[in-house]
Amino acid sequence: MSDPGPRAHRRAIALMVVAATLWSIAGVVTRHLEFAGRWEVTFWRSLFAAVFVLGALLVTRGRDAWDAVRATGGYGILSGTMWGIMFVAFMLALMTTTTANTLIVNSITPLVTALLARAVLREPIAPRTWAAIALAVTGMLWMFGSDFAAGEPRHLAGMLIALAVPLAAAVNLVTLKHAGRSVDLIPAVLLGAILSAALTLPFALPFSANAHDLVLLAVLGCLQLGLPCMLMVRASPQLSAPEIALLALLEVVLGPLWVWLGAGEAPALTTLAGGALVIAALLLNELAALGVRVRAAQ
C-alpha cells in the first residue's frame, strides 16, 4: 500500500483525535450514574454499542449488512475478539486494582504495538516515534505515578488483568493494518461489543439501573464506545499502528479535564503536567511525520 499523502494523513489524525476525545468522556458520564454497578455499566455500554454499530451497518449497507459481517472472515473474528477482551478487561482491572495502576499499564500500548508491528508487519519505526513513545510513557507515569499501588496480591492481579488491554490493543491494531483497505473491519466492532455483552451479562444481573442511568449508558455505548471505535477503524489505513496507539493516549489526558469541568473534581498539578508532556509527545511526533510527508510529496 502506498504511503498516504499529507491531506489523507491529516484527515486520519482528525478522526483519531475525535475518537480519543469521545473515549475520554467515560469518566464524567459515569460520575452521574445513580445505581448501575461496574459490571452492569460494561454490559449496557457494550449492548448499546452493538445496537449503534448494527444500526450504522444497516443504514450504510442495508440488506448487505450481514454479508459485510461475514466478509470480514478471520480478520473480523480476531479483531472482534480483541475488542471484546479490551472492553471487559479494562473494567475488570478497575474493579481489582486502582485506576492509576490500570492506566499506567495501559500506557505501554504504543510500545507493545510498535514491537508487534515491527515483528509482524516488518513496519519500520521512525526514531521520532520511539522518542514520542518514551516521552508519552514518562508523561503517564508523571500523571499517575504518585497513586501507583503494588505489593498486595489484588493489585498485582489487577495489573495482570490490565495487561490484557495493551496486548489485545496491539494485536487489534496490527490486524487492522494487515487487513488494510481490502477488508472493512467496522463489523468487528459489532462482534466485540456482542462478545463483551455476552460475557458480562451473568455478572450484571440483577439489573439495578434506572431510566436516568440507561440514558447515560446509551450515551456511553453509542457515543463513547461504538462511534469512536468505528472512527479508529476508518483512520487505520492512513496511520501506522504505533501512531494510532499514541494518539489514543489522548483519552487518558482529556479524561481528567472533563471530570474537572463536568463533575468538579480538580486534577492534581502532576496530572496536568504529565498530560502536557503526553500532548507534547503526540504533537512533536505528528508534526515531524507531516513534515516528512510534505517533503516526500514535493
Query: Can you give the pLDDT at residue 10?
Result: 86
Query: What integer is the mean pLDDT of 162-174?
Result: 94
Rounded-to-integer distance, Cα 57 and Cα 263, Å: 34
Query: Can you give the pLDDT at residue 297?
Result: 57
Domain span at residue 22 reads 6-297
User: Do 55 and 265 meet the contact criterion of CB atoms below 8 Å apart?
Assistant: no
Rounded-to-integer distance, Cα 52 and Cα 58, Å: 10
pLDDT tens per residue across span 97-129: 877 788 888 889 999 999 999 999 887 888 888
Cis peptide before 4 (omega within 30 of 0): no
**What does the longest C-alpha to C-alpha distance in the chain come to?**
62
Flag whether the pTM goes above 0.85. Answer: yes
The kind and range of the H/E element at 264 are none
Please tell me the total count of domains within the chain. 1
Query: Can you give the pLDDT at residue 1?
Result: 42
Query: Can you give the pLDDT at residue 34?
Result: 92
Q: To the nearest whole number, what is the mean pLDDT of the chain? A: 88
User: Do 162 and 101 meet the contact criterion of CB atoms below 8 Å apart?
Assistant: yes
**Closest to 100 (Cα-Cα) out of 45, 155, 151:** 155
DSSP H helical ranges for 62-149? 65-71, 73-96, 99-106, 109-120, 127-144
Does the residue 150 lie in any domain?
Answer: yes
Does the residue 1 lie in any domain?
Answer: no
Rounded-to-integer distance, Cα 281 and Cα 131, Å: 8
Does the residue 97 lie in any domain?
Answer: yes
Query: What integer is the mean pLDDT of 176-184?
Result: 88
Is the Cα dihedral 220, 21, 140, 242 positive or negative? positive
Does the residue 136 lie in any domain?
Answer: yes
Does the residue 182 lie in any domain?
Answer: yes
User: Do 234 and 179 meet the contact criterion of CB atoms below 8 Å apart?
Assistant: no
**Closest to 219 (Cα-Cα) out of 1, 13, 28:** 28
Query: Can you give the pLDDT at residue 2?
Result: 45
pLDDT tens per residue across span 212-238: 999 999 999 999 999 999 999 999 999
